[in-house]
Amino acid sequence: FNVTILPNAEAASAAVADKILSRVRAKPAAVLGLATGQTPRRVYAKLIDAVANGEISFAHATTFNLDEYCGLTCSHADSFAAYMHRELFDKAGFDQHKINLIDGAAADEKAEADRYARLLVQHTVDLQLLGIGTNGHIGFNEPGSSSMSRVRVVELSEETQAANRPTLIELDQVPRHAITMGIADILDAREIVILATGQAKAESVYRSLREAPDDTCPASHLAGHGNVHWILDEAAANLL
């Protein structure tokens, strides 16, 4: 495993941002796989700074997000689409036409998952950014997800709902369903960078890096990919 442990979340986020910046510098039309949640916020802030300082342009990059809550329109503040626009896209010069998001409000969720799957197979993600759930999920591939899983509608575990509840802006309850890229889709990326910070992630990081791959810890399936870089702060690495 390629694991980097840095003193704190700030340093870990800077290291992840640097990886994204080097990828896009080397290949301006790179396809980026992006995540939401608390963890990547500092990374995105650094990308915005780099654009503001004239160090990089994302105008030619294509993006695919990992997942989206079902039932929320892209204009709902708690949707991952709104998060992406707020935290990154609108401030970093991304081309609207090259941004691919899942429509959580689609009337036919299965058809929306199939549409996204068809788009994904037409691209190869150059760099996939991941966070990890306290239960080891990646994207919304909850425990029980196989390494062969593809884009689909899923039910969120109680643990994930509880972890995400404090992050909601307008909603009282976390939506129970989501559409997510599957583990096989994630493993199709050329390069994967997974960022974990804070003590709450220590156990799932330990299981992913120190135990045999198993569906009960979805991130453990990353072991089957030859180009994964784990970037951790000391708290998330503390059981290793």
Indicate which residues carry an active-site annotation. Answer: 67, 135, 137, 142
Rounded Cα distance between 222 and 27, Å, is 24
137 lies in the binding site for ligand F6R (CB under 6 A): yes
Half-sphere exposure of 240 (CA within 13 A, CB side): 19
Cβ atoms of 68 and 179 closer than 8 Å: yes
Tell which one of 138, 205, 222, 228 touches ligand F6R (CB under 6 A).
138
136 lies in the binding site for ligand F6R (CB under 6 A): no
Task: Using the minimum distance from each CB to ligand F6R, give the nearer residue, 139 or 175.
Answer: 139
Rounded Cα distance between 105 and 115, Å, is 14
Cβ atoms of 149 and 183 closer than 8 Å: yes
Task: Using the minimum distance from each CB to ligand F6R, give the nearer residue, 92 or 130.
Answer: 130
CB-closest chain residue to ligand F6R: 131
CA 93 to chain CA mean position, Å: 20
**What is each CA distance from 165 to 41, 78, 175, in whole angstroms?**
17, 10, 9
Contact letters (x/-) for ligand F6R, 140-179, by CB under 6 A? x---------------------------------------
Where does the chain have alpha helices with state H? Answer: 9-26, 41-52, 80-87, 109-121, 158-164, 183-187, 202-210
Task: Using the minimum distance from each CB to ligand F6R, give the nearer residue, 35 or 231.
Answer: 35
Contact letters (x/-) for ligand F6R, 177-216, by CB under 6 A? ----------------------------------------
Identity (one letter) of the amino acid at 155?
E
Applying CB under 6 A, which part among 19-27, 101-109, 125-133, 223-231 lies near ligand F6R? 125-133
Interface positions, 38-77, toward ligand F6R (CB under 6 A): 38-39, 66-67
CA geometry: angle 183, 184, 186, nearest 5 deg? 65
Distance in Å, CB of 60 to ligand F6R, minimum: 23
Q: Provide the binding-site residues for ligand F6R, judged by CB under 6 A.
A: 35-39, 66-67, 80, 131-133, 137-140
